[in-house]
């Protein structure tokens, strides 16, 4: 089975206990040519069973379901799948991020928001070689579309594309975008594991930069580079970070 654009079909499982939500997701997804909905689960136990049996490429997973929560489902499965959490409770966002969710949709969400998420998911599934032309998942790692961080007393999602740099702090990290700075209790290493290494580079033990936001790379000394970012900030790469930059530049 193949989609009209030549890419493989992604098998999708809906794990949701609200019939209206299941119906809405099926309606939204029916015209997406690279997706095949292979089933739905109405409780946590069925979610575990069907994920293991059907081996979907992508799971829409409600955080709160009868029997087992969505987070407990992920603790029990051994099949590696991309996950988009769907829930009415945004306080679970950080936990979802820690479990490696690609995205987090707060109900009620519309078709436009879902399509935005799917566009980014598809880039991950195809671009990272996780969905082959026969529709089977190939080995690889899923990278986050959004990170969740604290800002002005709340928890907010940040599109990774918008992040200019991530800096280690005494209590975690700060995530810098052109418009604001956000904070997270996660370590720089934990954040790094959720990011695509083709897009983000740890240039120093205290800094990760988004390569698409690097405006200029200059020589700092005999062994290190200075990076000028498009938000006006400047960072000096470590010797190791500078060597990785040399390798990227060929």
Burial class (CB in 10 A: 0-12, 13-18, 19+), 177: middle
Same domain, yes or no, for 94 and 163? no
165: CATH: 2.40.50.1020
Same domain, yes or no, for 63 and 163? no
* Domain count for the chain: 2
Domain residues for the domain of 231 are 159-249
Round the average pLDDT of the chain to a whole number and report it: 85
Same domain, yes or no, for 174 and 105? no
pLDDT in tens, 70-125: 888 988 998 988 889 888 766 655 565 656 677 888 888 889 989 988 987 887 77
pLDDT at position 97: 60
135 located within any domain: no
H-type helices in 19-110, by residue range? Answer: 19-29, 44-54, 70-76, 93-98
142 located within any domain: no
Q: In 10 A of CB 73, how many CB atoms?
A: 26
């Amino acid at each position: 089975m193949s989609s009209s654009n030549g890419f493989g079909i992604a098998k999708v499982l809906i794990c949701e206990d609200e019939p209206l939500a299941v119906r809405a997701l099926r309606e939204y997804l029916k015209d997406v040519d690279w997706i095949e909905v292979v089933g739905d689960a109405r409780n946590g136990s069925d979610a575990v069973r069907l994920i293991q049996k059907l081996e979907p490429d992508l799971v829409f997973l409600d955080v709160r379901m009868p029997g087992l929560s969505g987070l407990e489902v992920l603790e029990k499965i051994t099949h590696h799948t991309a996950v988009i959490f769907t829930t009415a409770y945004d306080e679970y966002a950080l936990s979802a991020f820690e479990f490696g969710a690609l995205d987090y949709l707060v109900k009620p969400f519309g078709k436009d928001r879902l399509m935005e998420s799917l566009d980014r998911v598809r880039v991950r599934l195809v671009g990272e070689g996780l969905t082959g032309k026969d529709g089977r998942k190939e080995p690889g790692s899923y990278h986050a579309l959004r990170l969740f961080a604290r800002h002005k007393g709340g928890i907010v999602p940040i599109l990774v594309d918008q992040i200019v740099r991530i800096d280690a702090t005494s209590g975690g990290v700060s995530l810098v975008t052109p418009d604001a700075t956000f904070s997270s209790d996660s370590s720089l290493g934990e954040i790094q594991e959720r990011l695509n290494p083709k897009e983000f580079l740890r240039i120093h033990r205290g800094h990760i930069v988004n390569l698409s936001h690097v405006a200029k790379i200059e020589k700092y000394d005999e062994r290190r580079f200075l990076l000028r970012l498009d938000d006006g900030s400047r960072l000096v790469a470590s010797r190791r970070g500078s060597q990785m930059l040399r390798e990227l530049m060929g």
